[in-house]
Structure 1
Amino acid sequence: MRVHVPPPRLSAIALTLAFGAPAAGLVGCSSTANPPPATSSSAKPTTAPSSGTAAPSTSAGPPTTASIEIGNMLNYGSIGTTATLDCADGKSLNVAGSENTLTVNGTCSTVTIGGTNNKITFDKIDQHLSVLGLNNSITYKNGDPQVDNIGSGNTINKGG
C-alpha cells in the first residue's frame, strides 16, 4: 500500500526531520552522566552594586549544518556556512538558517527559503520561489518562477 502525502505536509515533515534530529542530538550533548556531588557552604552571600553594563559575548564554535534528501526534495539547514548545493535537474529545495552564503547549481523546480541574512545564488528556478525570512539576498540567473516574498527586507533579483 502506498500512502500519498501532500507536498506541503511532506515539506513540514522534511523540515522537522532536518532540524529535529540534530536538535535532539544536541540536547543529549548537554547532559552529564554522573553529575558532581552537591556541596554546602556556611559562608554568607555578598552583594555588590552593578554598573548595569556587560560586554557582549560570542561563540566561535563550528557552523551547524543539517542536510537531508527525501525523494526529489533537498532540505538544507545551516548557520554561518558557505556551501555549494546541487538541484541537479528539477529537485525542489528548502533552505532554513541564517548568515549563509550558498551557490545552488542545476535547475530547482521549487524553492522555499526561511531564515535571515542569507545570500543565495541559483543557476535556475523553474516553477516557484517562496522567501519567508528577513533580509535575504536571492539571485536566480535563469527561469521564470512565480515569486512570493512573504518576509521583510528581502531582495530578489533575476540576473547575475
Structure 2
Amino acid sequence: MKFDKYDRLILEIIQQQGRISNQELAEAINLSPSPCLRRVKQLEEAGFIDGYVALLDAKKLGLSLVSFMQVSMDKHTPERFNHFEAEIAKCNEVLECHLVTGQTADYLLKVIIKDMDGFQHFLLNKLTPIDGVSGVQSSFVLKSPVNTRALPIL
C-alpha cells in the first residue's frame, strides 16, 4: 500500500487520539467523512493499524517501579530461547521482551511492578527459575522525560 499525505495524517492523529470520531478526524485532515472512513478501514485491513487500546495510569494502579532487566542465557539454542520466550510471555509484569545483540545479555525486559517487594518476588519466583537463565542485571527507572507509544510516520 502506498501512503499519501492523508494516510500519514490519519496515522499520526489516531496514535495521539485513538477515540477520535470519524467526523473529527475527517475535519482534522480536510477530507470528507466517507473517504476518511474508507482510508481508515484500508489502513486497518492492510495491517498498519494493529489495534486500539486505552493507556492506563500506572501510578494510579499502584505500579510505580519500572525496571529494565538484562537476562543472560546459559545456552544459545532455539529450544532454550523458545522456552524462555514462552515462559516470560506468561508474566503480566513484563511489558516488553527483546532478544538483543551487542551486550553481554541475551534479552532485555521492561518490567513494571508495585514496589521492591514485588520486584523481589518477580525476580526470585518467576524469572530466575526459568530453565536457562544464568544471569540478571537490573536497572530502575528514576524518571521518564520521553515516554511515548506513537511511532514516527515517515
TM-score w.r.t. length of structure 1: 0.18
Greater fraction of residues in strand: 1
Higher relative contact order (CA 8 A, sep 6+): 2
TM-score, with structure 2 as normaliser: 0.19
More helix by share: 2
